[in-house]
Amino acid sequence: MKIVKLTMLAAIAAITAMAFIGASTATATPSWIAVCLKAELLNCKSLATHPLLGRLVALGGKGTFKAGFVTIECSGSEGWSVQNESQQNGVSEGTVESMTLKGCTGCTSIAFATPQAATLNMETETGGWRSKANGVKVKFTGCPFSQSCTYEANLNFEVQMNETEAFTEPKGAAFKRIEPSTGLCAETGKWETGKAVFDWELDNAAFPNGTRHKNVFPSLIGKELIKAL
């Protein structure tokens, strides 16, 4: 992360996203994906401290999830990945370890299933970053009319970037109702809004109080650069 809210995942998606400093395409010449402190899509020169382990932190803003008879809104979310290296070679997975939603209305409880595997890859040699997570499950309880709704989705988010941040947005991602769910839950729920940005926290102090790099970016880099560090 939820379904209700967004960001929930975004984090996952995300949350996810770089968090799992995932994978470059097989045809791309540069073969490493790294956490970059600036918006440098290729061959980042502003790399996060290496080889210290760190965690990707997905921070979501206000988000909305619509499930037929109920609209769920949350004021924000925070997702943490497990420890990862800031630079990885080849195809790899990361895991969302925890997801917390805050300020939610519509249902009294929203539970995002963790741990949740997620990947990041660059689909072309010059762009097309995608954050993916399959089998994402969210359960809403304490909803109007004593309803309880569980949803599942395979998420595939574009990782967008500007000069100050990398981010994901759900853009109406569809979730399918699964069991256990009560009768009034819509067959399809939609994660309508919820932008998430990413921080990188180094494992150089007691979790979660390490060095925090805010608004980090993924960057595709070559082996030669890695060896020089």
pLDDT digits (tens, 9 = 90+) for 128-144: 889 999 999 999 999 99
* Residue 6 near residue 198, CB atoms below 8 Å: no
Distance (Å, whole) CA 18 – CA 81: 10
Phi, psi of 216 (to 5 degrees): -90, 170
Give the three-state DSSP class for 218: strand
Residue 216 CA to residue 35 CA, distance in Å, equals 7
* pLDDT reported for residue 126: 54
Q: For all residues of the chain together, what is the average pLDDT?
A: 82
Q: Which token pair is 140?
A: 């809403």
pLDDT at 13 over 70: no
Q: Which residue has the higher pLDDT, 134 or 225?
A: 134
Average pLDDT, stretch 113-126? 83
Over residues 100-108, mean pLDDT: 94
> Is residue 105 very low, low, confident or very high in pLDDT (cuts 50, 70, 90)?
very high
The CA radius of gyration of the chain, in Å to the nearest whole number, is 17
What distance in Å separates the CA atoms of residue 117 and residue 109, rounded to the nearest whole number? 23
pLDDT at 204: 76
Q: What is the pTM assigned to this prediction?
A: 0.80
pLDDT of residue 51: 77
Confidence grade of residue 228 (pLDDT, cut at 50, 70, 90): very low
Query: Which residues, in sequence order, are CB contacts of 28 under 8 Å at separation 6+?
Result: 122, 124, 125, 220
Left (φ > 0), alpha (ψ -120 to 50) or beta: where does 89 sit?
beta
As a whole number, mean pLDDT of residues 73-91 equals 87
Do residues 172 and 192 lie in contact, with contact meaning Cβ atoms separated by under 8 Å?
A: yes
> In the 8-state DSSP scheme, what is residue 223?
H
pLDDT of residue 127 exceeding 90, the answer is no
Task: Using the predicted structure, report yes or no on whether residue 198 has a pLDDT greater than 60.
Answer: yes
pLDDT attached to residue 125: 58
The number of beta carbons lying within 10 Å of the beta carbon of residue 122 is 23
What's the pLDDT score for residue 96?
95
State the pLDDT at residue 211.
87
Structure tokens, 154: 């395979």
Q: Which of 39-48, 88-97, 162-171 has the lowest mean pLDDT?
A: 88-97
Cβ atoms 170, 191 nearer than 8 A: yes
Model pLDDT, residue 25? 35
pLDDT of residue 87: 86
